[in-house]
Amino acid sequence: MKLEKSIYYYTKGQKHLVGAVNSPVRAFKSVGGVPLIIEKAKGSKIYDVDNNEYIDFVLSYGPMILGHRNKYVESDIKKALRKGYTFGATSKGELKLAKLVCDAFPSIDKIRFVNSGTEAVLSAIRLARAYTGKQKIIKFSGCYHGHADALLVAAGSGLATLSLPGSDGVPKDAVKNTLIAEFNNIESVKKHFAKHKDIAGVIIEPIAGNMGVVQPEAKFLKELQSVVSKHKALLIADEVMTGFRSKFGGAQDLLGLKADITCLGKVIGGGFPVGAYGARNEIMEMVAPLGSMYQAGTLSGNPIAMACGYSTLKELKRKDPYKKFNKVAGYLEKAILEAAHKYEVEVQVNRFGSMINPFFTKEKVTNFATAQSCNTDQFKTFFWKLIEHGVFIPPSQFESWFLSTKFSKSDFEKTVAAINIAMETVAKKSK
């Protein structure tokens, strides 16, 4: 496999781009080597500048649930482009997408569109504080909620990949009101509420996707909701990753959770920069111009992004691929485990809907601590061998793989063959 052009552009890119990337995980620091420079994508495939073809399990970290360049979505984007790029005023597309999202989430009456998941989360935190009149927020170690100062502590994903406990430039005062609990450990939450009387809310990924697809254990979310309600705090569900990925709506519905505030992103933009936060009327009416909690954005509700998001959700609702996603993910899990068993490699596989991740560890992964028990050297070997055989997965042990509706039988067969070769290589290098 040739990567000469990727090497060339990566080297050239370092002059004007920080690390030749615009998001740290793209730098391949945790797997080594030179990152791929991507040229184009179509359907289930992505192509680098050397014209290597890969089956894409990254899917821009989730948004491309219909695969790349869906013909219906692309047609609607072109129609929107002909009307103008941005208006600085409300357009009909915002109203249509808002209704579609609200109808899919029983816990949301009103919604506010922003430009990213990070914006959605920082706005939701501000709203929880405004509504309750309290200051402190509980988050879970290993859950990543964007790069807002108050939440950039004990995060998963990128920080775990780079082995950073936090970030320089974040003042101590910015995180003094952030309390850390352990995912799947309700007692760690209760202890905070026993000690602090000014907790505004608890934020959680219903499926912890930024430590590699970790599901809540039985009763954990139910108990969490009860504790939060008892103390008159708000429960914030960060469904930036999981929204519309496991059903036409949120993972919270499947898990029996009813969030006070829900954060969304990724799929609702269909590949364009869109985030959102929503809640029942009495909470959202705190937001300006109806209330005193201020939040604004020049490009929020951008008409092109709204058109792409609406078209994506409309097509997703028509296709209703969720049963098939579960079935395919089950087949993929079986293939990974069989290959690992065949070559005596210790692997755990976690999955939920169209999200799946193999962990190179013998421990069941239920929280950030167990996720960190993984053998990341084995993952590096596995990653590059898959790349070599035309399968593109996230360059981090702590990121989910994603499925799209364009993933075909031949894609599956090629992926399984590559997984077997990769596991055999891992086994040989581990001896």
- For residues 189-196, average pLDDT: 96
pLDDT at position 33: 93
Confidence of residue 154 (pLDDT cuts 50, 70, 90): low
- In whole angstroms, give the CA distance from residue 16 to residue 14: 6
User: 74-102 pLDDT, tens per residue?
Assistant: 999 999 999 999 999 999 999 999 999 99
Residue 162 reports pLDDT greater than 80 = no
State the average pLDDT for the chain: 94
- In whole angstroms, give the CA distance from residue 393 to residue 414: 14
> What residues act catalytically?
144, 238, 266
What number of other Cβ atoms are within 10 A of residue 300's Cβ?
18
User: 349-388 pLDDT, tens per residue?
Assistant: 999 999 999 999 999 999 999 999 999 999 999 999 999 9
> pLDDT: is 159 or 246 the higher one?
246
Supply the pTM of this predicted model: 0.94
User: 250-280 pLDDT, tens per residue?
Assistant: 999 999 999 999 999 999 999 999 999 999 9
- In whole angstroms, give the CA distance from residue 40 to residue 191: 50
Which residues are CB-contacts of 121 (< 8 A; sequence separation ≥ 6)?
Answer: 145, 146, 148, 151, 203, 236, 238, 240, 263, 277
Residue 1 reports pLDDT greater than 90 = no
The one-letter amino acid code at 230 reads K
Q: In this predicted structure, which of 24-38, 153-167, 257-271 has the lowest mean pLDDT? A: 153-167
Domains of the chain plus CATH, in order, are 4-65+321-430 (3.90.1150.10), 71-318 (3.40.640.10)
Interhelix angle 71-81/303-319, rounded to 10 degrees, is 160
